[in-house]
Structure 1
């Protein structure tokens, strides 16, 4: 009986079809993927009729100075703590929780000063908070 000798050559793996499949998948992913930035949102703001705003809720304007002083509806607030702000906001809101709070902070005001106003508003149940800003004069 004659036995064959074992083949000592390593088997060849043909990589050409594998590379072709990977290139097709890569091209498909490149064409189907969209790359967009979230900062470039194109939005259209809704319009409003000015006559419907006759029954708008009470507004409370809180001004924050650069040195940390507070003024609520043109009345200075004694103290710079959250508790003193909460008492002043309670007096200004007069028990109405639907009042709008407008925070008008100086550009150089400390971030912590604005956070104090927001914390006082949360304690008093004022959930409508907005920030005042001015447009650039350019």
Structure 2
């Protein structure tokens, strides 16, 4: 058995031209779709603040899941925005620039929270904040 003399063997070679074409197309695609982040274009020096700032007197309004309201930890028997506004006016009497913090239950209805916001508008209180709990 003579395996050496088996006729002409074709040399196998890899054609690199299609490979280069594909890599060039991928390179152009990546260059065209890459977004370059623009870092700071303006140098801004941020102001410093101390933690001991005076907070204005805040009225805390809690809204329960079933639509009941509490003002500063005391349950109030109101249901309409006008009644809530009267209670807020009485609680804010004598305070300069009162602020309302709304502590609404996650399951409270949207209308219950809107009632407190409308009451704040009727009472002339323009600063309304919402309390939230951070997730752990």
Q: Which TM class, normalised by the smaller chain length?
A: 0.5 to 0.7
State which structure, 1 or 2, has the greater radius of gyration over its C-alpha atoms.
2
Farther off after superposition, 109-118 or 86-95: 86-95
Identify unmatched segments of 5+ residues in structure 1: 1-30, 35-44
Aligned residues of 1:59 and 1:99 also touching (Cα < 8 A) = yes
Verify: 1:123 aligned to 2:122, yes or no. yes
Question: RMSD of the TM alignment (CA)?
Answer: 2.6
Deviation at 1:46, TM superposition (A): 7.2
Q: Which runs of 4+ in 1 moved over 6 A?
A: none
Matches of 1:132 and 1:46 in 2, distance apart? 25
Matches of 1:70 and 1:104 in 2, distance apart? 10
Verify: 1:98 aligned to 2:109, yes or no. no
1:8-87 maps to which residues of 2 (within 5 A)?
48-51=49-52, 53=53, 55-87=54-86
The number of residues matched between the two structures is 97
Aligned residues of 2:82 and 2:122 also touching (Cα < 8 A) = no
> What TM-score do you get using the length of structure 2 for normalisation?
0.63
Deviation at 1:47, TM superposition (A): 5.7
